């Protein structure tokens, strides 16, 4: 087996495996995404390299014109597929989209490069047929190599700009950038040897290794990037599905208070989805008695006494309560799930008998909770009117009202 045959076998294996892997990734993605079509074009470009390897390996005997025509078709087809993937990388060449009309929509870009490479193929075929001199042939090789180099650099910039979104380590990014430069230079090494001639023959083996390393790297980085994209898309789909489920959840019970064993304030909520078997529970705890937790106690006590709360600051209060829960809870809440609104008067949606207090007597002396209750004294006044406690000062009447509110069994 010659060095060239070994190189071609490696090329066939690397590009076929990479193309097949990305094609399988493309097939399993159910979501519509710009990356999905870019993945398909890169996969087809790798398969085109596989065809080039197979064609070169068997090297079928054909007239020189047909060989030249086939070389131009295979080269242009690979470059066309690589260029076709460029607009489908996210947030790449935004400046170009503003400056060039044909780059604003992927379809316009596809039409442009299809026409361009069709013209290139025809021109090269005509030149191959009519140019007889070595200098002319070498000029064609150089132009073809420059087109391939431009294509590789264009795709490399797009790929690099996209993958650093996942790989943020600076050293890793520099290494990837260096390897993309190496991959670009591969498009000049072998054509350069063909142009310079016999004096470069000793470097032919190293040129093949260089080219194989570059293609292998591009294969690997493409598979890695689209694999990460696939994982990201699955995660997005999963999160969207979870959000849909959570939007259908309703609060069925609330348990809150103080746990003496671990000396933490605790808040537990039980949820149920549209499917009655979809039951979830979550909890948050706090070492200190925070104002949002005090407002949870306030609303729970009010719901126990069938009292709706109304206050100018209630919108902020409700927001802070939900924020306090969502910060650490595994199941997220919305205000609509937790509160009902009756003409600007709010209460928990959960039934009063589904609200359970832990160590309620421990919470009674807490200043933060008492202040939260007295701030909404007007809402409690109809049920616990301080004037009913005759013969007592204002502070004493308020104290008696707070104790009456805490007596949830009355």
* Residue after which a domain boundary falls, among 244, 277, 298: 244
CA distances from 39 to 22, 29, 49, 351 (A): 7, 11, 16, 52
| Rounded (10°) CA dihedral 335, 340, 346, 347 | -100
DSSP 311: -
Proportion of the chain above pLDDT 70, given as a percent:
80
Q: The domain spanning residue 223 has which CATH number?
A: 1.20.1070
Query: Mean pLDDT throughout 101-119?
Result: 78
pLDDT of residue 63: 45
**399 pLDDT tier (thresholds 50, 70, 90):** confident
Whether residue 163 sits in one domain with residue 104: yes
Return the pLDDT at 232: 78
pLDDT reported for residue 62: 46
> What is the reported pLDDT for 300?
94
Residue 162 pLDDT: 83
Distance of alpha carbon 138 from alpha carbon 288, whole angstroms: 80
What CA dihedral angle connects 204, 209, 210 and 215, to 10 degrees? Answer: 130
For residue 265, what is the DSSP state? Answer: E
Q: How far apart are CA 212 and CA 10, in angstroms?
A: 8
| Per-residue model confidence as pLDDT tens digits over 174-198 | 999 998 888 888 777 777 766 676 6
- Residue 235's pLDDT band (boundaries 50, 70, 90)? confident
Which residues make beta-bridge pairs with 347? Answer: 340
Domain that holds residue 217: 3-244
Between residues 337 and 202, which one has the greater pLDDT?
Answer: 337
Residues 79 and 131 in one domain: yes
CB–CB of 113/80 below 8 Å?
yes
- Compute the radius of gyration of the chain from its Cα atoms: 35
| φ, ψ for residue 52, nearest 5 deg | -60, -45
Report the domain count for the chain. Answer: 2
- Residues 332, 324 contacting (CB under 8 angstroms): no
Same domain (yes/no): 210, 255: no
Tell me the pLDDT tens digit for each residue of 295-338. 999 999 999 999 999 888 888 899 999 999 999 898 888 888 89
Compute the distance between CA of residue 85 and CA of residue 195 in angstroms, rounded to an integer: 30
End-of-domain residue from the set 244, 272, 305: 244
Q: Please indicate, yes or no, whether residues 102 and 180 belong to a single structural domain of this protein.
A: yes
Average confidence score pLDDT of the chain: 81
Residues 286 and 190 both lie in one domain: no
Q: Which pLDDT value is given to residue 351?
A: 92
User: Do 312 and 292 reside in the same domain of the chain?
Assistant: yes
């Amino acid at each position: 087996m010659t060095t060239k045959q070994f190189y071609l076998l490696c090329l066939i294996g690397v590009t076929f495996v990479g193309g097949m892997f990305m094609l399988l990734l493309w097939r399993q993605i159910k979501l519509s995404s710009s990356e999905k079509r870019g993945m398909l074009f890169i996969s087809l470009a790798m398969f085109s390299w596989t065809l080039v390897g197979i064609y070169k390996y068997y090297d079928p005997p054909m007239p020189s014109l047909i060989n030249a025509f086939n070389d131009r078709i295979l080269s242009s087809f690979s470059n066309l597929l690589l260029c076709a993937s460029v607009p489908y990388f996210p947030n790449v060449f935004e400046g170009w989209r503003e400056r060039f009309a044909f780059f604003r929509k992927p379809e316009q870009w596809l039409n442009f490069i299809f026409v361009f490479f069709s013209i290139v193929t025809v021109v090269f075929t005509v030149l191959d047929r009519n140019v007889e001199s070595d200098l002319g042939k070498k000029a064609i090789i150089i132009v073809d190599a420059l087109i391939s180099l431009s294509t590789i650099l264009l795709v490399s910039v797009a790929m690099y700009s996209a993958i650093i979104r996942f790989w943020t380590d600076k050293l890793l990014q520099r290494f990837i950038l260096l390897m993309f430069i190496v991959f670009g230079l591969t498009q000049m090494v072998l054509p350069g040897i063909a142009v310079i001639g016999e004096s470069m023959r000793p470097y032919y083996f190293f040129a093949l290794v260089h080219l194989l390393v570059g293609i292998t790297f591009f294969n690997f980085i493409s598979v890695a990037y689209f694999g990460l994209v696939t994982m990201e898309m699955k995660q997005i789909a999963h999160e969207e599905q979870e959000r849909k489920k959570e939007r259908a959840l309703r609060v069925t019970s609330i348990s809150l208070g103080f746990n003496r064993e671990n000396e933490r304030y605790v808040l537990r909520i039980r949820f149920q989805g549209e499917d009655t078997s979809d039951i979830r529970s979550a909890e948050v705890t706090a070492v200190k008695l925070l104002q949002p937790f005090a407002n949870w106690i306030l609303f729970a006590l009010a719901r126990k006494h069938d009292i709706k709360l109304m206050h100018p600051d209630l919108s902020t209060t409700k927001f802070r309560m939900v924020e306090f829960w969502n910060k650490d809870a595994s199941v997220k809440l919305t205000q609509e799930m937790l509160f009902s609104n009756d003409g600007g008067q709010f209460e928990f949606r959960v039934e009063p008998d589904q609200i359970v207090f832990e160590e309620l007597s421990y919470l009674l002396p807490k200043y933060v909770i008492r202040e939260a209750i007295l701030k909404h004294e007007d809402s409690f006044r109809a049920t616990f009117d301080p004037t009913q406690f005759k013969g007592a000062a204002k502070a004493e009447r308020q104290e008696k009202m707070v104790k009456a509110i805490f007596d949830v069994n009355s």
